[in-house]
A and B are shown apart, each in its own frame.
Chain A
Amino acid sequence: MAEVRLMKGNEVIAEAAIRCGCDGYFGYPITPQSEVMETLMIRKPWEETGMVVLQAESEVASINMVYGGASCGKKVMTSSSSPGVSLMQEGITYLAGAEIPALVVNVVRGGPGLGTIQPAQSDYYQTCKGGGHGDYRLIVLAPASVQEMNDFVDLSFELAFKYRNPAMILSDGVIGQMMEKVTLSPYKARWTDEEIEEISGSWATTGKKANRSKNVSTSLELDSDKQEEFNLHLGRKYKAMEENEVRYEKISCDDAEYMFVAYGSSARICQKAIEICRERGIKAGLLRPITLYPFPTKQIKEMVPQLKGVLSVELSMGQMVDDVRLAVNGAIPVEHYGHVGGIIHSPEEIADALETLIIKA
């Protein structure tokens, strides 16, 4: 029977990791996501499923432990918050370059620098536009509820292994700290050595057998022709993700004349803003990207003919709005609205912003 509990988003990440058969978690504490490792330490999964939980000496160490574990074909993960994820960027681009599947969870707080410990969504550029160097993409899932914090852990691993690519759950302090009702997933057993050999034997460093050549986990290629061919291969992989893995949700869009685009906590607040707008006689809807990469460009574009304007809402100075503008391609007005610095916009402020920035502008 499904287990219903009242849990914090961060606690659920830990619980979902144990239940989906995760082999290892390597992390370093930082507000507002410390409950992930705290919950794992309380749950002691090493006694139950054999999952390793280790507090590393730094974020740099944790991401490299992830690189090591994941290179062996294991399901491993880390979690942090913005400044910690900045420290991990070298490791993340190496994972992408070596085509190693792994999960990184970012419970975003305000920046730049050490910034604030309060919620923000100001890491969109870092997550979706690079962060680390080189031509690479992360699979990025943006949960908007505690239930999705549960569901996206398993989904992230599934996609990461499907494409041999690191995945990121981009959450924020609201979703991490909030408690909601959650239906926990049933337990999946951790992969056995045989299963790892079957699933990832072509690339994972599981110990060379007599009947195959050695697997090397590296992102270094000094031959430019080979490097270009590798970059083109990555490009084809990203194109396949764009074709097959876009996830989104539309709310009240059928008759909408104005549309919010928002993810994570802002998407939740926009849902209330829609109610307020509709009480004021404004037909507003919401398109919520669930995958930030691949971005629902096509789905936004398809909405344009029925719309008079789009408001991109994000707890930032305006990052995702770039992708919304590319999707709309100048056809109708697109503006950004959002509080920053750890202040969270209210539903009323968003409804007002739609009127002042789009309708009356």
Chain B
Amino acid sequence: MTEEIIIAGFGGQGVLSMGKILAYSGIMQDKEVAWMPSYGPEMRGGTANVTVIISDERISSPILQKFDTAIVLNQQSLDKFEEQIKVGGTLVYDPNGITKEPTRKDINIYKIEGNALATELGNAKTFNMIILGAFMKVKPILSLEDVEKGLGKSLPERHHKLIPMNMKAVQCGMDNIKVVQEL
């Protein structure tokens, strides 16, 4: 099993930390993992993205042009990464702010209203965990237990009280993902 994932959105949406939790969750299952961010001016605004690879084998390139799954959180990222999904691969996106819907017919497409759901949950910061939950629903390569452990590893101890709220957000994402097209 090798899953090559790109997560892309605006700086500040929690793209990098979502990737980190995903990578830590992979380690909990004793998988090989790589987390390769875009770095530099992005952290001061604009688009941010991170490649996460989870595999049973030694990981070759952390730099990729084709992905099994793209998790896309703004229009620029959709424009850029829709075409980089492998045939038969998966796109998960948040329709908030999307004006040009995805057009590919040879991939699986799912929608998650992450922004709206985070507002409903009463905590905008849980947005990235809702998206992570949605991803886990369509790609169950990791268990909820792994993610909970991954959160514990990735958050400093003083923030561990936030884990239940984050897990609630993950569950919310799993429950609310919608199929746009399935092959």
**A complexed with B:** yes
A41 at the interface (CB under 8 A from B): no
How many residues of chain B have a CB within 8 Å of chain A?
22
Q: Which residues does chain A contribute within 8 Å of B8, judged by CB atoms?
A: none
The residue in A31, A177, A180 that gathers the most chain B C-beta atoms within 10 A of its C-beta is: A180
Q: Are B65 and A347 in contact (CB under 8 A)?
A: yes
Q: Are A268 and B62 in contact (CB under 8 A)?
A: yes
Nearest CB to that of A117 among chain B residues? B40
B1 at the interface (CB under 8 A from A): no
Q: Are B27 and A178 in contact (CB under 8 A)?
A: no
Q: Are A174 and B153 in contact (CB under 8 A)?
A: no
Q: Which residues does chain B contribute within 8 Å of A349, judged by CB atoms?
A: 65
Q: Which residues does chain A contribute within 8 Å of B35, judged by CB atoms?
A: 6, 178-180
B33 at the interface (CB under 8 A from A): yes
A265 at the interface (CB under 8 A from B): yes
How many residues of chain A have a CB within 8 Å of chain B?
28
Contact of A31 among B23, B40, B154 (CB under 8 A): B40
Q: Are B60 and A6 in contact (CB under 8 A)?
A: no
Q: How far is the CB of A341 from chain B (nearest CB, A)?
A: 13
Q: Are B27 and A265 in contact (CB under 8 A)?
A: no
In the docked arrangement, what's the CA distance between A179 and B63, Å?
Answer: 13
Q: Are B33 and A180 in contact (CB under 8 A)?
A: yes
A271 in contact with B27 given A32-B39, A178-B36 (CB within 8 Å): no
Q: How far is the CB of B117 from chain A (nearest CB, A)?
A: 28
Q: Which residues does chain A contribute within 8 Å of B153, judged by CB atoms?
A: 6
In the docked arrangement, what's the CA distance between A6 and B20, Å?
Answer: 9
Q: How far is the CB of A144 from chain B (nearest CB, A)?
A: 10
In the docked arrangement, what's the CA distance between A349 and B63, Å?
Answer: 11
Q: How far is the CB of B50 from chain A (nearest CB, A)?
A: 9
Q: Are A269 and B63 in contact (CB under 8 A)?
A: yes
A220 at the interface (CB under 8 A from B): no
In the docked arrangement, what's the CA distance between A181 and B34, Å?
Answer: 7
Q: What does DSSP make chain B's interface, helix, strand, loop or mixed? A: mixed
Chain B positions 8-33 with a Cβ under 8 Å from a chain A Cβ = 20, 23-24, 27, 32-33
Q: How far is the CB of B53 from chain A (nearest CB, A)?
A: 9
Q: Are A177 and B23 in contact (CB under 8 A)?
A: no
In the docked arrangement, what's the CA distance between A173 and B154, Å?
Answer: 23
Contact of A347 among B20, B27, B64 (CB under 8 A): B64
Q: Which residues does chain B contribute within 8 Å of A269, judged by CB atoms?
A: 60-61, 63
In the docked arrangement, what's the CA distance between A269 and B37, Å?
Answer: 16
Q: Which residues does chain B contribute within 8 Å of A49, judged by CB atoms?
A: none
Contact of A179 among B23, B64, B66 (CB under 8 A): B23
Nearest CB to that of A274 among chain B residues? B60
A30 at the interface (CB under 8 A from B): no
Contact of A177 among B27, B36, B59, B154 (CB under 8 A): B36
In the docked arrangement, what's the CA distance between A271 and B59, Å?
Answer: 9
A265 in contact with B23 given A173-B39, A179-B35, A180-B33 (CB within 8 Å): no
Nearest CB to that of A32 among chain B residues? B39
In the docked arrangement, what's the CA distance between A28 and B20, Å?
Answer: 27
In the docked arrangement, what's the CA distance between A346 and B60, Å?
Answer: 12
Nearest CB to that of B32 among chain A residues? A181
Nearest CB to that of B35 among chain A residues? A179
Q: How far is the CB of B157 from chain A (nearest CB, A)?
A: 14
The residue in A179, A346, A347 that gathers the most chain B C-beta atoms within 10 A of its C-beta is: A179
Contact of B63 among A4, A6, A275, A347 (CB under 8 A): A347
Q: Which residues does chain B contribute within 8 Å of A271, judged by CB atoms?
A: 60-61
A272 at the interface (CB under 8 A from B): yes
Contact mask for chain A residues 157-181; partner B; CB cutoff 8 A; 1 contact, 0 none: 0000000000000000110011111
Q: Are A177 and B39 in contact (CB under 8 A)?
A: yes
In the docked arrangement, what's the CA distance between A275 and B4, Å?
Answer: 15
Q: Are B60 and A275 in contact (CB under 8 A)?
A: yes
Q: Which residues does chain A contribute within 8 Å of B37, judged by CB atoms?
A: 177-178
Q: Which residues does chain A contribute within 8 Å of B23, judged by CB atoms?
A: 6, 179
Q: Which residues does chain A contribute within 8 Å of B36, judged by CB atoms?
A: 174, 177-179
The residue in A345, A347, A349 that gathers the most chain B C-beta atoms within 10 A of its C-beta is: A347
The residue in A4, A269, A272, A345 that gathers the most chain B C-beta atoms within 10 A of its C-beta is: A272
A180 in contact with B34 given A268-B62, A269-B61, A348-B65 (CB within 8 Å): yes
In the complex, given contacts A4-B27, A271-B60, A349-B65, what are 11 additional A-B residue pairs having Cβ atoms less than 8 angstroms apart? A6-B20, A32-B40, A174-B63, A177-B37, A178-B36, A179-B34, A180-B33, A268-B61, A274-B60, A346-B64, A347-B65
Q: Which residues of A are interface residues toward B (Cβ below 8 A)?
A: 4, 6, 31-32, 117-118, 173-174, 177-181, 265, 268-275, 344-349
Q: Which residues of B are interface residues toward A (Cβ below 8 A)?
A: 20, 23-24, 27, 32-37, 39-40, 59-66, 153-154
A-B contact pairs, 17 of them (CB 8 A): A6-B23, A6-B153, A6-B154, A117-B39, A117-B40, A174-B62, A177-B37, A178-B62, A179-B23, A179-B33, A181-B32, A268-B61, A268-B63, A271-B61, A345-B63, A347-B63, A347-B65
